[in-house]
Amino acid sequence: MPYRCWFECIRGCGRRYSIYDVVYRCQDCGGLLDVQHDLEALRDRSAAAWKQLFEQRAHANEWPYGSGVWGKKEWVCPQLDNSKIVSMYEGHTNCFRAQRLGQQIGVPDLWVKLCGNSHTGSFKDLGMTVLVSVVRHMIDGGKPIRALACASTGDTSAALAAYAAAASIPAVILLPRGKVSTAQLIQPIANGALVMALDTDFDGCMRIVQQLSRDPTIYLANSMNSLRIEGQKTVAIEIAQQFDWEVPDWIVIPAGNLGNVSALGKGFLMMKELGLIDKLPRIACAQAANANPLYQSYLTGFQDYHPVLPQKTLASAIQIGDPVSYERAVKVLRAFDGVVEQASEEELANAAARADRTGLYCCPHTGVALAALSKLRERGQVQASDRVVVISTAHGLKFTAFKVGYHNRTLGGVVSRYANPPLELAADQSLVSDAIDQALGKRARGDGSGRRVQCAG
């Protein structure tokens, strides 16, 4: 049987569309669309055969199967011709064995999935390779698409700009002015996108880009377009594969626009339905307390949902008050016995810094997830014997100003418990030796890290 997929309304009204249609919501009921697969056709291979195929491709370089996404092509976008694929061999990111950090938190079997170890430095690459590849097919087939467009807090814009540039498709980026790190802002600029910084927040940018995409020649590239989710769900498959198809007890994931948790759930559910795994993990969504609509809804058992006006947060990529994928995320959390936790600015900053002290280099959003994990462990919801995987969504190098501010103790409202500024000394060997002796003595006693000195940058 041929493998195939299509768009289908998430609200169960049964309306279907081709993945090559320019459509983002059900035209009958207004619900978001998910990509659905013909599972009966996929069952023509046994679970053991799928595992063998995925393992074989993970160690090969045959186009396009060397990609962590396209190595699962039959589960992602089976009918797309390989010649249309735009890939940078994304995926295959490592799980960091965070044993030292786990012992500090009280979860010795702790792992961090480093999704930021990708071409543009975030997990967004996984979804963008699928979306841009499908659009390339649409354009080659005669669809009059002039440009790809997205609203972004940074990482989506970087991924869209890079993949669009590789495909020679114009990209239009809407960013909230002053709310994106310099490192993130320069990425789409360098890749030649049309970048517009608007006097609003992400939600305001999202409203405008949805209005723009009513023009069928401007194709929407945000995660309300479920082609993105198809690529991002491969994170779940990679995690299972990296643990020899044994499922962790918990996955902890930062939550903003909620496409990522939707994708994670979809990947695990698909593996279970096709027999590759025999249980589901529990999922914990972590939100910044300054932008926490999902957390507020969770407190009501998801009976009530109200968008919030997000306040400024160091975790800028999840500074979102009205997440587009709320409905999808709630379905996943209910299916996975999920929980939602929040973290204050001080909690997330110190959690990221503590993780850095154990060899990681965390973005602030990973700090949100680690702070949430600490709270869940303290309350006993996560047990000491549990295997936990934290999803790190972006590379810490994108957030240098956050790091510098932390170690200079200049982040507003944050007491930097793990600040480690450089010592500025005269070029005198005796002074250097004294400083080493003093610092190592303090470390042995567990004291602070020394006097404050300004970091460069």
The predicted pLDDT at position 447 comes to 60
363 contacts 392 by C-beta, under 8 angstroms: yes
Tell me the C-alpha distance between 379 and 339, whole Å: 13
- Span 213-232, average pLDDT: 94
pLDDT above 50 (res 147): yes
Q: Which stretches does DSSP call E strand in 208-366?
A: 218-220, 250-254, 282-288, 339-343
Closest to 333 in 3D by CA, of 253, 402, 214: 253
Of 23-32, 328-337, 408-417, minimum mean pLDDT range = 23-32
The predicted pLDDT at position 153 comes to 83
Dihedral-angle region of residue 302 (phi above 0 means left; psi in -120 to 50 means alpha; beta otherwise): left
309 contacts 274 by C-beta, under 8 angstroms: no
For the stretch 393-428, pLDDT in tens is 999 999 999 999 999 999 999 999 999 999 999 999
For the stretch 432-442, pLDDT in tens is 999 999 989 87
The predicted pLDDT at position 285 comes to 98
Q: What is the 3-state secondary structure (H, E, C) of 320-358?
A: CCCCCCHHHHHHHHHHCCCEEEEECHHHHHHHHHHHHCC
Question: Using 50, 70 and 90 to split pLDDT, how confident is the model at 448?
Answer: low
For the stretch 290-309, pLDDT in tens is 999 999 999 999 999 999 99
The predicted pLDDT at position 12 comes to 83
The predicted pLDDT at position 456 comes to 46
Non-local CB neighbours of 122 within 8 Å, separated by 6+ positions: 115, 116, 155, 158, 159, 393, 394, 395, 398
pLDDT above 80 (res 105): yes
In percent, the amount of the chain with pLDDT more than 70 equals: 97
Closest to 189 in 3D by CA, of 201, 206, 172, 203: 172
Tell me the C-alpha distance between 277 and 450, whole Å: 49
pLDDT above 50 (res 450): no
pTM over 0.95: no
pLDDT above 90 (res 375): yes
Tell me the C-alpha distance between 249 and 382, whole Å: 9
Tell me the C-alpha distance between 373 and 113, whole Å: 14
For the stretch 50-76, pLDDT in tens is 999 999 999 888 999 999 999 999 999
In percent, the amount of the chain with pLDDT more than 90 equals: 89
Residue recorded with tokens 């204050």:
344
The predicted pLDDT at position 449 comes to 44
The predicted pLDDT at position 397 comes to 95
For the stretch 268-291, pLDDT in tens is 999 999 999 999 999 999 999 999
Tell me the C-alpha distance between 385 and 374, whole Å: 14
- Span 109-120, average pLDDT: 97
The predicted pLDDT at position 269 comes to 98
pLDDT above 60 (res 136): yes
The predicted pLDDT at position 453 comes to 43
DSSP label at 425? -
Bridge partners of 394?
122
Tell me the C-alpha distance between 261 and 233, whole Å: 9
Residue recorded with tokens 């948790």:
261
Question: Using 50, 70 and 90 to split pLDDT, how confident is the model at 1?
Answer: low
Question: Using 50, 70 and 90 to split pLDDT, how confident is the model at 217?
Answer: very high
**Average predicted confidence (pLDDT) for the chain:** 94
130 contacts 276 by C-beta, under 8 angstroms: no
